Amino acid sequence: MVPPQQNLRKIRLEKLEKLKSLGINPYPAKYPREEISLVRKKKLGDFAQTSGRILALRKHGKMTFADLVDSTGKIQICFRLDKVGEEKYSLLELFDVGDFLGVAGELFQTQAGEITIQVEDFSLLAKSIRPLPSSWYGLKDIEERYRKRYLDLLLNPSVKEIFLLRSKIISAMREFLDSRGFIEVETPTLQPLYGGANARPFVTHHHALDTDFYLKISDELYLKRLIVGGFDKVYEIDKDFRNEGMDKNHSPEFTMMECYWAYADYQDMMRLAEEMVEHLAKKVLGKTKINYQGQEIELKAPWQKLSMKEAIRQYLKIDVDQLSDKELLLEIQKRNLTYEEKPTLTGVTKGFKRGVAIATLFEAVEPFLIQPTFILDFPKETTALCKPKASHPDLIERFEPYICGREVGNAYSELNDPLLQKEFFAEQVKAKKSGDEEAHPMDEDFVEALEYGMPPTGGLGIGVDRLVMILTNQPTIRDVVLFPAMKPQIPVKNKD
């Protein structure tokens, strides 16, 4: 038995062949038009010529009404036998919901008050051979919304609005950085050596050069090279790739904004970050107080600032400085958190990293950070690219901004001591040999660049997808990414 969907497709294919037999090109190259939103602003009696997709067809003998929609709006159109003639009116039998149509005629208002185009001439612009789903949210597999985003956008205006807002947020971010004197640049996506974060990369092979390349996990090391090269303020908004897990906050392909500011430090970058988010909220939403998943969030600067150890004391009632290594590991285990190394019977491994353990325990604090908060002064073991804190050499000048319990960025006073940078890289290489797949590789070329001299510099990265989630009140990252990464489906063959 042929499935109903396939049967309808067959009928539409027959209509397509009939149109061709009548000498009608069902896929012409162009049609002169005005956007529907502009047509709706015209006066009654004015001539209008527009086009769009048919979303409804209502046939009543010698008169047919249809709804035509484009990206700017919707308008009703009316076909009358005495206006278009019998030959053209008969073509309506070959049209379906989903087809694209160009129409021309005068505007009038129906008795119901609906602005309508009285069609005098029309042209088929594209024949749709698959019927649109009548109830998209009624599908059993909700993930089909992500797999066929084009239908999700077409049939759910609220979804389309999210992505319009996303576009405005990114534009406003560029506007903010441009107004502060930052220059937008582009760095390589294919890199001979990955770096700038602790993450597992995607690997690909370049056949012409016969060597492996990596998809970038961060823009950081190339942007710092530009600071060495004489740029004082640079930024990039683009895709990064990390070969890691997927959940509501993580995607293997994601959009990141990174900026670097010569002669600035992490305190300057904190002010830049909070002012940027406040600007985005005002510019795009017209307010700084938003609702995210039932919680009121105030994005207006200044934001709360807590050191990592202060946050643990405040929310977990634990002073990590008073804990032994073994006690620290027990606190981590009690909360079902995962430290990168398993403890031995004596409590710790030979390569125990106390700073990493403290950062792991901090993960239990994150759900409490609902209002915008900067967590600063991380243990030095958490990154190889950050400047040590002068007053506390076991800490680094690093912060992460948190909103609604999720981290939305990362920032440093950038390490510009080439000898110390090489030492930190060497420590990471040892960690990699010990089995840490996310450890940072040695980058001799970057160290050489630092040896030519890099001024004091502040760096900031903002996860654009996560920020868009918050500003558009969406629960998962897949709701703000047009085409999220998903496991391919095995095609199912229909049986007649």
Here the CATH number for the domain that contains residue 107 is 2.40.50.140
Per DSSP, which regions of 276-403 are E strands? Answer: 289-292, 295-298, 304-307, 373-379, 388-389, 392-403
Q: Are residues 188 and 119 in the same domain?
A: no
Q: Are residues 162 and 122 in the same domain?
A: no
Q: Are residues 180 and 100 in the same domain?
A: no
Sign of the Cα pseudo-torsion (165, 168, 174, 179, in order): negative
**Average pLDDT rounded to a whole number, residues 392-419:** 95
Residue 312 CA, distance from chain mean position: 30
For residue 140, being part of any structural domain is answered with: no
**Average pLDDT rounded to a whole number, residues 120-124:** 97
For residue 344, being part of any structural domain is answered with: no
For residue 176, being part of any structural domain is answered with: yes
Q: Which residues are CB-contacts of 382 (< 8 A; sequence separation ≥ 6)?
A: 355, 356, 359, 396, 398
Q: pLDDT higher for 161 or 5?
A: 161
Flag the least confident range among 27-31, 365-369, 412-416, 438-442: 438-442
**Average pLDDT rounded to a whole number, residues 280-288:** 97
Q: Give the Cα separation of 132 and 372 in Å (integer).
A: 42
pLDDT confidence of 139, banded at 50, 70, 90? Answer: very low
Nearest one of 201, 263, 254 to 232, comparing CA atoms:
263
Q: Are residues 116 and 179 in the same domain?
A: no
Q: pLDDT higher for 13 or 393?
A: 13
pLDDT beyond 90 at 179: yes
Residue 29 CA, distance from chain mean position: 33
pLDDT confidence of 431, banded at 50, 70, 90? Answer: confident
pLDDT confidence of 156, banded at 50, 70, 90? Answer: confident
Q: Are residues 270 and 209 in the same domain?
A: yes
Give residue 339's pLDDT: 87
Residues 375 and 364 sit within 8 Å (Cβ to Cβ): no
pLDDT confidence of 343, banded at 50, 70, 90? Answer: very low
pLDDT beyond 90 at 492: no
C-alpha torsion angle, residues 141, 146, 148, 153 (rounded to 10): 110
Domain around 79: 4-126
pLDDT beyond 80 at 14: yes
Q: Give the Cα separation of 50 and 432 in Å (integer).
A: 61
For residue 345, being part of any structural domain is answered with: no
Nearest one of 119, 9, 101 to 56, comparing CA atoms:
101
pLDDT confidence of 349, banded at 50, 70, 90? Answer: low
pLDDT beyond 90 at 438: no
For residue 202, being part of any structural domain is answered with: yes
Give residue 350's pLDDT: 57
Domain boundary among 103, 126, 149: 126
Question: Where on the phi/psi map is residue 196: left (φ > 0), alpha (ψ -120 to 50), or beta?
Answer: left
Q: Are residues 110 and 184 in the same domain?
A: no
pLDDT beyond 70 at 268: yes
pLDDT beyond 60 at 140: no
For residue 343, being part of any structural domain is answered with: no
**Average pLDDT rounded to a whole number, residues 401-417:** 96
Question: H-helix or E-strand containing 203?
Answer: strand 203-206
Q: Are residues 263 and 386 in the same domain?
A: yes
Q: pLDDT higher for 214 or 492?
A: 214
> What average pLDDT is seen over the chain?
92
Q: What is the pLDDT of residues 53-83, one digit of tens each?
A: 999 999 888 999 999 999 999 999 999 999 9
pLDDT confidence of 345, banded at 50, 70, 90? Answer: very low
pLDDT beyond 60 at 347: no
Number of domains observed in the structure of the chain: 2
For residue 489, being part of any structural domain is answered with: no
Domain boundary among 126, 144, 169: 126
- Domain with residue 417: its CATH number is 3.30.930.10
**Average pLDDT rounded to a whole number, residues 5-30:** 94
Radius of gyration of the chain (CA): 29
Give residue 138's pLDDT: 46
Give residue 230's pLDDT: 97
Give residue 135's pLDDT: 56
pLDDT beyond 90 at 2: no
Domain boundary among 126, 149, 177: 126
Q: Are residues 117 and 208 in the same domain?
A: no
Q: Are residues 298 and 446 in the same domain?
A: yes
pLDDT confidence of 432, banded at 50, 70, 90? Answer: confident
Q: Are residues 55 and 173 in the same domain?
A: no
Q: Which residues are CB-contacts of 493 (< 8 A; sequence separation ≥ 6)?
A: none
Residues 287 and 281 sit within 8 Å (Cβ to Cβ): yes
pLDDT beyond 90 at 471: yes
For residue 143, being part of any structural domain is answered with: no
Q: Are residues 272 and 383 in the same domain?
A: yes
Kindly write down the DSSP assignment for every residue of 49-81, as one continuous string: EEEEEEEEEEEETTEEEEEEEETTEEEEEEEEH
Residues 188 and 167 sit within 8 Å (Cβ to Cβ): no
Q: Are residues 233 and 382 in the same domain?
A: yes
Q: Tell me the backbone φ, ψ of residue 369, rounded to 5 degrees.
A: -90, 70
Residue 18 CA, distance from chain mean position: 44
Q: What is the pLDDT of residues 185-225, one digit of tens each?
A: 999 999 999 988 888 999 999 999 999 999 999 999 999 99
Q: Which residues are CB-contacts of 376 (< 8 A; sequence separation ≥ 6)?
A: 266, 270, 305, 306, 307, 308, 397, 398, 399
